[in-house]
Structure 1
Amino acid sequence: MTEIPQIPGSLPRDPEACLVVDHRAQVLAFNDTTQRWLRQHDHASGGGRPDTLLPVNLPALVRACLQQDRAIEDVESRLGDHTYLWLLVPDQAHQQVMIRGRDGTATLAALDEATRASRLYRLITENTTDLISRHAPDGSFIDASPASWRLLGYWPEELRGQRLDQVVLADSLDQHLEEARVRLRDTGYATLTVQMRRRDGELRWFETASRAIRETYTGAVIEVVSVSRDITARVNSEENNRRLAQVVEANTDLVLFVSRSGNISYMNPAARSALGVEGQSLPPLSAFFDASELQRMVSEGLPRANESGVWETETRLHIHGGGDTLPVSLVLLSHPAASGQPYYSLVARDMTERELREQEQRRHQEELAHTARLATLGELASGIAHEMNQPLATIVNYANASQRYLKQAGDNPDALARVQDGLKRITQHANHASEVIKRLRAFLRKGQKRTAAIDVNDVVTTSVRLCQWEADKHRVAIQCQLAPDRPSLTADPVLLEQVLINLIRNAIDANRERHAGQPSRITLITRHRATGEGQSEILIEVIDQGPGLDEEGLSQMFAPFYTRKQDGLGLGLSMSRSIVEGFGGYLEASPDDGGGLRLYCRFPVRLASATDTDD
């Protein structure tokens, strides 16, 4: 092989890589920086050839540069974990092109992360029903989400620059603010409950979760982002539960006194009215619950209530004597008795109004999901480029080979057969590239949410394809155990794909944390599970081999801003749970026997039989 000379003059000392190529894209000379880059990629650079650093379509770029007599900027090439950006400058007099390159790996990674974070924050603040606000270190408002009008009676622009004491009661502020500042300074995360005054003078209780945004180099808190949820109804309910029996009678919440065996001894008027119970005879608790939900309350709720005094969940109660159900926020309270055996009360709040509100807001959800998918696409860009590069490179190879055989057609009778075979293979790989594009367009399509009966196995398979390259990169094998009876449910397939992609990518990160540089496995399972009395549900499970979570982590993992990742916002699982609940399902987590984490989506089978489609 003829040795390629280095560039003379001052260019060898240039901190950027410099190469000179002729009109056929053959390297004529290069400088010391280019040689240093080659040594960094000794095994991956094809034996130290400088052209392996350059873009794969270099010949086409050189032709365009010389023919159009213009410079071409920021052309990417990838080698190993590095991304290089190249500038091509034509030299028409010598029919050569000067190529200068810089290492853009860190710059591009930082830009992708900043873009994703900005989009995600904007989408959440514009579409959530909770109040999301930004504050200066002294507590004054920098900005607020549109929910401020509904919750506080102030438009966002009216709150900007206002002090906290404009809306937070002084007693509540003095009691909790200093403690919150210390937690934000020390741990970066704080929760507090405060009382706020609406513009019309009404007092409301809010539960606020806050996260500190720090200056990169000094670590000083420069901004605080908060999510505030109106919990006035819950606070009032807890107060009412401590009052005398006559107060319970007047309570608008549903109050039931039950025994451990499931017998109901008392229902307040609100419960009788909402659940359709008349007369002195009271039905058993099983008359108001699905068998699976009743079993969950017995196996999970009772032990938790006995331990801490209270257990909370959200479920649906059946109307007695009818087929309708009532969405409620349910509180199970355990009360110690003199005999030593606890007795229980159920306090249920009718969430019908919230469901109606959520249905109204779902028309905005597609915009949120579409932009979130764009952010996801940015993170998966390397995998997509890899998947597109393979068929395109193969097409180029077969096209070049076919051209050579066409030139030999006069002397070689077999040449035309080889050309025909090459064209056939070109068609196959072109179709493969077309399928990749179709999958991306389906994932990124923008429009109103559409629900239909979908094949769960197909949605899982599509989601795995979009994450496959990232999994392969980190030596994570994705194993699918799909139900042979191909379960189906009514949902938006793109939104469900978005949830599964988030769960799979979280599992990949968990495996990387526990098995850095080592092979590991993620398991995806789809199946039916019987829940009793002829009822069943569809499960989609994602099981990782990561470090898992303790009890505190499991209880907080779906809360906004809770994350163990240094660069994470803690919003992915919260958004995913909202999407699953929007389809009437449940997103939950539990420790896996292998030490990792098991996340599963549960969909009652009654959803799968629905035939309605939202246009």
Structure 2
Amino acid sequence: MSSQGRERLIHFAPLAAVVLFLAVIATAFWYLRLEEMHREQEAVKRDVEYGQQRLRLRLLERQEQLMRLARDVSNRELSAPHFLIRAESLVAQNPELLSVSWIDDRRRVIATQASVSVSAQRDWMDGDVLKAGEAEAGYGLARDLLQPVYSQPITPKDSEAILQLHVPLTLRGKFSGELLAEYSVDGLLRYGVPSEVLAKYAVALLDDKAALLAGQSIPDRPGLSESLPWTGKVNEYEIPVSPVGNGLVLRAQAWRTSQGVVGGTLFWLVAVLASMTTWMLIANWRQSQRRQQAQMALQSETSFRRAMENSMLTGMRALDLQGRIIYVNPAFCQMTGWSEDELIGQSQPFSYWPYEDRDTLAARLEEELEGASDTAGFQMRVLRKDGTKFDARLYVSPLVDATGKHGGWMASMTDITEPNRVRRQLSASYERFTTVLEALDASVSVAPLGSEELLFANKLYRQWFGTTTEGHLKLVVRGGSAETPVSDESMDAVDSFAGFPLHNLTSSAVAEHAEIYMERLGKWLEVRSRYLNWVDGRLAQMVIATDITVRRQAEEQAAAQAERAQSASRLITMGEMASSVAHELNQPLTAISNYCTGMISRIRGGGIAEQDLLNALDKTARQAQRAGQVVQHIRSFVKRSEPRRQLAEVPPMIDQVIELAEIEMRRRQVRLTRQIAPRLPPLNVDPILIEQVLLNLIKNGAESVDAAHRAPVNRLVELRVVPCVVDGQQAVQFSVTDSGRGLSAEALARLYEAFFSTKSEGLGIGLNLCRSIVESHQGRISAENLYNSGQPVGCRFTFWIPVSSIQGTPEAGTNNKTIA
């Protein structure tokens, strides 16, 4: 640069510094102001959201209390006077609650309880009937939806705004009226929003049209200047109040926007920047002077050779046009172990050439001198001075001086011993990996999505399906249909995960699992698949198929054995009841014999009338029918058959069980009582299996009572069947309670173990089968002792069967994992 240019730069540099200084001041002021507004806005938002959560929780608590009151009214557990007492307590405990009213399904007001500050006659009442309007609309919506409904806030004339909650009353699932609760919007604001939020902001409740319902509002202030209109904007935030929705909005406005921080910061920023600018201008001038002196010294003392030696870590070697070494850097000497003096001036063969590689390296040198060497470099072995060798890679390029004259050849050498070792290890690892996969007894295949290319297949896959992707695609399609039906998307060539981030898909996706039957192979296969990123970055799917034919056959044999065990259990039960059954059959057979003997005697004597003969024959037929029914019930109970689920009514099953159980009850002189709830829903079960469970429990209870030697008045077993709700689903609960001595702690812990029994002659399979039968119907069974003054006075076995979750369940014996 000329002296005139340097002078111009010196004059304009301070001006540029001042302009930059002003730009920094304006930017800093704007940034600090925005940062301050952002902090205030975040504070308002956080406090409003906190207030909204508190108000929401208060509304939900009141709603829950009203729903409990509605449930008691729906169940007819409360009369109108008792309702008024409960409503009065609810209104007194919650100041925001103005009134609670009971309205029947004909819109008649049965009872209403209002706060002392509210008149008895409400605006929505016409005498004792619900008047058309907002309340009547909410009444209709609650009747249609059968769930609590909030109406839009209402602002009567010369009165505060109110919010109505309609809670429906249902009787057997039908609408029978509602509870109408009125909230004071002002009360919700005062008692629902935390006091610290009310103290910090102007808090208000608005309707869906932004009309003020309660609280206070701050108008926008005029800006400080026309160029800064945002300085007068009130800092506010509003959010809808759930569960009311957009009809009730909570808004908070900051009382003022502080500007002191900005003003103080600006003052100190200006002072600091002014001092720094002055100091920087002086320091910059002095630094420029010192830099010029240093550059002149460096130019005279630094050379190209020293710069290359100090900066290069790669070994450098230069040859002249005749092939003699004219330069080596310290890195080259350190690699080879030869000094610079020993190497410079050498001609081929060089001392760092291994003896056995000299012919090959000499040919490479001729190519280098002729300029025919490969620009990608070549690999060679280098001999160190101590006799050791290492692998190196040489890159050769022409050596051209500053005048453009070609003076020789420059070569750079890099030690690649470690990369070669890693490469060999990777190759060996790949061979081991391939050997392991080839030896697996599972089929492994990998194929990209949307392509018929097979990226990898082990030996077993090739034996089963060949070298195409046909088997891979069949496993994917049939394995994917194990839990979800085949859709149009699954038939498309584009995967359903297309467009998703590959990293998230392969790292978070859960491996899919299915069991399928391949007719082509005649095998059951367990198929597992998951997505992975292939080495080239493509999204691929790996499928592993394992032969589980032996396991499936074992499962089928186990299921068959379980069915035989259930049938054996019923036979054992009937065998234990054989004497009772014989006694039960003996009565009708004896009666038949007596009737027949009497009729024969009277017929021979000629002293029987036709009507008397008919009566005797009728009684004989009834006794024969009774004996036949006993035999039929026993035959149907012990008959070995395939489990068959069907929609079955509970009362007929109970009747069948009681007819069989009463035989054992009479033999052991134990009373059997039953409490069956009316209108029980039908169950999708195998009736014989459920009867087997109940009969086993009743029989065990009778044996426990008999073993306890209870007094005749206390020798009883109670069967109770009622509806219940378990884990949010409807169910039917069966319980068998006896008055025996209960079970020990060890027996309770091992009650359902196979072959464990509390009876000396027991086989220990009855309760184990009961548990298996109940759990196969998606139910649970439990047992507990009953105590009186710390002494066991009996035991209760309880099990429940769900109503809706098993509708459409495949028949017993079918494996849900199986795919045809």
Q: Give the TM-score band, short-chain normalised.
A: 0.3 to 0.5
**Could you state the TM-score of these two structures normalised by the residue count of structure 2?**
0.30
Q: With CA pairs under 8 Å and 6+ residues apart, which has the higher RCO, 1 or 2?
A: 1
